[in-house]
Amino acid sequence: MQPYPESVPLPSADKRWKLVEATMRRHGYKASALIEVLHTVQESFGYLDDTSLRFVASSLRIPISKVFGVATYYHFFSMKPPGEHTCVVCLGTGCYVKGSGELMKMIEREAHICAGETTPDGKLSLVAARCIGSCSLAPAVVIDGEVIPRAQANAVQEQLRRWIGHDSR
């Protein structure tokens, strides 16, 4: 028998959260329902973002890093706005003090976009997150679903250049 979790408050009064909650309830709040639940979020809101992923993670009791991994790995999910590749930079305190703010600035400069945007050629979407539950790996960056522990500016920059080329202006 699946234990019923203490209820996680809905992120807002938006009625669409009720749809998401109904899907989770239908699946008994099982972790195995993650993909199904993320589909409901995407169908209801059009995309997945930090708030929805965090809500789903707490409700299904799944580590937020795993939820981010799944959400950014499968092509049928889009983090707003969707690009061919996704780079999530954790700006939670643990990562920020280890330099993730600088990393984010470097990526924004490199790709000529701000967090929450996609390059005009659709190659890269840049997403800012709060703590993704991998603080011991700070600063944490998730690239196409894979957590990069102790992300180094050089390595991230190299990867970005492979995707967006040298002239992304």
Query: Which residues here bind ligand FES, judged by CB under 6 A?
Result: 90, 92-95, 131-135, 138, 140
Which lies closer to ligand FES via its Cβ, residue 103 or residue 113?
Answer: 103
Measured from the CB of residue 99, what is the shortest distance to ligand FES in angstroms? Answer: 11
Which lies closer to ligand FES via its Cβ, residue 10 or residue 128?
Answer: 128
Which whole-number Å values give the CA distances from 74 to 12, 56, 84, 95, 99, in the listed order? Answer: 26, 16, 11, 25, 28
Q: Which residue is nearest to ligand FES (CB)?
A: 92
How far apart (Å, rounded) are the C-alpha atoms in residues 137 and 10? 29
Contact yes or no for 86/79 (Cβ under 8 A): yes
Which lies closer to ligand FES via its Cβ, residue 24 or residue 95?
Answer: 95
Find where tokens 């807002």 sit. 12
Q: Which helix (H) or strand (E) holds 128?
A: strand 124-129
Q: What is the DSSP letter of 154?
A: H
Which lies closer to ligand FES via its Cβ, residue 83 or residue 133?
Answer: 133
Detail the DSSP E strand segments found in 23-91: 85-90
Measured from the CB of residue 147, what is the shortest distance to ligand FES in angstroms? Answer: 9
Measured from the CB of residue 35, what is the shortest distance to ligand FES in angstroms? Answer: 23
Measured from the CB of residue 52, what is the shortest distance to ligand FES in angstroms? Answer: 18
